[in-house]
Amino acid sequence: MPTNTAASQVGRALEILRDRPLVALTGAGMSTDSGIPDYRGPGSPPRRPMTYGEFVSGETAQRRYWARSHVGWARMRRAVPNPGHHALATLERAGTLHGLITQNVDGLHGTAGSRALIDLHGRIADVICLGCRQISPREVLQARFEELNPGFVDAVGPGIETAPDGDAVLETTDGFRLAACESCGGALKPDVVFFGENVPKERVTRAYAMVDALVPRDGALLVAGSSLTVMSGLRFVKHAKKLDVPVVIVNRGETRGDPLATALIDDGCSEVLSALAGVATGPTDREPIGQWRDLAP
């Protein structure tokens, strides 16, 4: 259950969300209870993720990225959905949540059962070739890395810190052997949006359409676990505000979208979303989820 401080905030949010169809926008704070650290939450250390420009600069940067990711993925793939993920899946099954836009790349929303889902920044479980653009499973690449770099993960040891987006904090990556695309020999990259890289236009269009569809249905936008620091997620909050769609933000600490919110809940996603799922299921005679998923032209 939410803390005493958040109890009245939850009550206010319930008044806004009750009997309304919802679209959710989630960020890294959703997954901290699954053991995946975030970038900007309270107490998070400063982090400098690799940019797209760095990654495509050559093998030195790619070796650094993949060595760290090889260690981090061995841990991250064991992460399981937490109560917050399950709460949103419950709201979808109840007919209340009609769409979910996530900035996370961990795939835990899908594992929890969410189906009306847009992985805005891609999924770390997929790999794309920068040459032929073929997409392949990360599990396959992980096995190839293990063959090329036997004992690398064990040599690092369990004390290395796990960082967001499935990598680990390694200082030395010299000697790590890269794997190329098996089809064309091109460089491989996780199929996620790096800093400095644009979100595919098709995903953005579908996400805007989800928010647009709230207007005639008197719906609301529920933001969970995002600081909204970058425009990638904040633009949908701004869009909702422009359309007079109520915005409820659940996050530990302040967010860049706070001035745009109708209600704020300063508490953890697992506690608050579980409470919301218990009472804010709303009517079940909504339009089918698929009609919301396919709104984009």
Looking at the structure, do residues 113 and 185 belong to the same domain, yes or no?
no
State how many domains the chain has: 2
Any idea how long the chain is?
297
Predicted confidence (pLDDT) per residue in 261-282, tens digit:
999 999 999 999 998 888 755 4
Looking at the structure, do residues 239 and 105 belong to the same domain, yes or no?
yes
Which residues span the domain enclosing 219? 1-36+81-121+198-297
The pLDDT assigned to 133 comes to: 97
Cα–Cα dist 52/68, whole Å: 16
The pLDDT assigned to 46 comes to: 54
The catalytic residue positions are: 121
Q: Is pLDDT larger for residue 49 or for residue 116?
A: 116
CATH code of 244's domain: 3.40.50.1220
Looking at the structure, do residues 227 and 165 belong to the same domain, yes or no?
no
Predicted confidence (pLDDT) per residue in 46-95, tens digit:
567 889 999 999 999 999 999 999 988 877 888 999 999 999 999 999 99
Looking at the structure, do residues 253 and 281 belong to the same domain, yes or no?
yes
Calculate the CA dihedral of residues 135, 137, 143, 149 and round it to 10 degrees.
50
Question: Is the pLDDT reported for residue 289 higher than 50?
Answer: no
Query: Residues 7-25: what's their mean pLDDT?
Result: 86
Per-chain mean pLDDT for the chain? 87
Looking at the structure, do residues 86 and 129 belong to the same domain, yes or no?
no
Looking at the structure, do residues 111 and 248 belong to the same domain, yes or no?
yes
Q: For residues 192 and 123, is the Cβ–Cβ distance under 8 A?
A: yes
The pLDDT assigned to 40 comes to: 55
Looking at the structure, do residues 64 and 183 belong to the same domain, yes or no?
yes
Looking at the structure, do residues 202 and 272 belong to the same domain, yes or no?
yes
Q: Is pLDDT larger for residue 152 or for residue 53?
A: 53
Out of 192, 219, 247, a domain closes at: 192
Cα–Cα dist 67/274, whole Å: 37
Looking at the structure, do residues 169 and 294 belong to the same domain, yes or no?
no
Predicted confidence (pLDDT) per residue in 165-202, tens digit:
667 777 778 889 999 999 999 999 999 999 999 999 99
Q: Is pLDDT larger for residue 126 or for residue 45?
A: 126
The pLDDT assigned to 6 comes to: 55
Give the global pTM: 0.88
Looking at the structure, do residues 275 and 293 belong to the same domain, yes or no?
yes
Q: For residues 126 and 135, is the Cβ–Cβ distance under 8 A?
A: yes
Question: Is the pLDDT reported for residue 242 higher than 80?
Answer: yes
Out of 167, 192, 217, a domain closes at: 192
The pLDDT assigned to 282 comes to: 43
Q: Which two tokens stand for residue 116?
A: 């009306």
Out of 133, 167, 192, a domain closes at: 192
Confidence of residue 33 (pLDDT cuts 50, 70, 90): very high
Looking at the structure, do residues 99 and 2 belong to the same domain, yes or no?
yes
Looking at the structure, do residues 16 and 49 belong to the same domain, yes or no?
no
The pLDDT assigned to 250 comes to: 95
Q: Which two tokens stand for residue 196?
A: 């400095």
Cα–Cα dist 48/163, whole Å: 10
